Amino acid sequence: MMDNVSMNEDMDANSPEKKKKKKELRTALIVVFVTLSCIFLLLFFMYKTFVPISWSRFNDKRIEYIEDKLKLDLDNVEPMSYRHITAQDHIADFDFKVDDYKSLMENDFHGGAIISHFEEDDKSAAKYVCWVEDMSDVYSKCFNVTFTKVDDGYKAKLYCYRNVGTMSKYYTETTTSQ
């Protein structure tokens, strides 16, 4: 009689209904896993897109990245902080120290034109507005760079933004005058 009971249990475990339920369970687990993986990847890429890059320590790779994005040689600059923002028009904020801001703007800025500059008579502050032609981006970029005198040089705040509506105006002005 005992053999009969264990034989029936084996038959129940291998029955077509049990196999079908196991297969449905496996399929449901695979669908849940794939769905959760897709949601995770979507959230990860959204995070990478909407959360700004923020640096306060710099290595050669980061310096190279900033030089490429801002079209500014940073050999004579002491970087303090950089923040790449993914807002609609705002691109980046970059804080740094420099000994001579005139030399920086005249010799180390490349990629566009200095549209205007203002300098205090006592050289305690200066402001530059620059346009950068960047073929890798759809829009041109504009910078507002403000220099403020500190003990041993100048502290600078660079604010970079997309210049959507006036790209052709600045492009025409700078290319026709050359």
- Amino acid (1-letter code) at residue 177: S
DSSP, res 72: B
Label the pairing between strands 153-163 and 140-150: antiparallel
The whole-number average pLDDT for the span 32-61 is 85
Residue located via tokens 């600059």 = 77
Q: Is residue 7 scored above 80 in pLDDT?
A: no
Helix (H, G, I), strand (E, B) or coil at 142: strand
Question: Tell me: the pLDDT tens digits for 47-61?
Answer: 766 777 888 899 999
Helix (H, G, I), strand (E, B) or coil at 138: coil
Q: Which one has a higher pLDDT value, 1 or 35?
A: 35
Closest CA to 140 of 110, 176, 170: 170
Q: Which two tokens stand for residue 72?
A: 């500014």
Half-sphere exposure of 97 (CA within 13 A, CB side): 7
The pLDDT, as a whole number, for residue 136 is: 54
User: Which band of pLDDT confidence, cut at 50, 70 and 90, is reported for residue 12?
Assistant: low
Q: Is residue 4 scored above 60 in pLDDT?
A: no
User: Which band of pLDDT confidence, cut at 50, 70 and 90, is reported for residue 158?
Assistant: very high
CA-CA distance, 31 to 93, in Å (whole number)? 43
Question: Tell me: the pLDDT tens digits for 105-133?
Answer: 888 888 778 888 899 988 899 999 888 76
pTM above 0.75, yes or no: no
CA-CA distance, 173 to 139, in Å (whole number)? 16
The pLDDT, as a whole number, for residue 18 is: 82
Could you tell me the sign of the dihedral formed by the alpha carbons of 64, 74, 176, 173, in that order?
positive
Q: Which one has a higher pLDDT value, 99 or 51?
A: 99
